[in-house]
Amino acid sequence: MLRRLIAAIAGLGLVLFVRLLTAPRAIWAGIEPIPRQRVYFANHTSNADFPTVWAVLPNFLRKTTRPVAASDYWLKSRLRAFFGRDVLNAVLINRDRAAR
């Protein structure tokens, strides 16, 4: 329970930090932000792509939107693992074919 509370606070902090740092904005051209199955994508120029997309989503969509990410990056440290698993609720994929 405490871990979920800390993750929620960290998620809010991440959203505020990204919004302050990058000032992203969503352009919902011809489509409204409603809770239905969708794929959001970025051109992947950095590991900040998903947090930036996540920061512009309404709160009700952030709760159900999950990134697909490389486990070798997100499990490299305890802090990254906490953000990847608990804050972003990422689907972590092993990129090493031999380990699959």
Structure confidence by residue, pLDDT tens digits, 21-66: 999 998 888 888 999 898 888 777 787 889 999 999 999 999 999 9
- Count of domains in the chain? 1
Bridge partners for 69 per DSSP: 92
Does any domain span residue 80?
Answer: yes
Range of the domain at 83: 2-25+41-99
**pLDDT-derived band at 100, boundaries 50, 70, 90:** low
Does any domain span residue 69?
Answer: yes
Contact 56, 34 (CB under 8 A): no
Q: In this structure, what DSSP letter does residue 83 have?
A: I
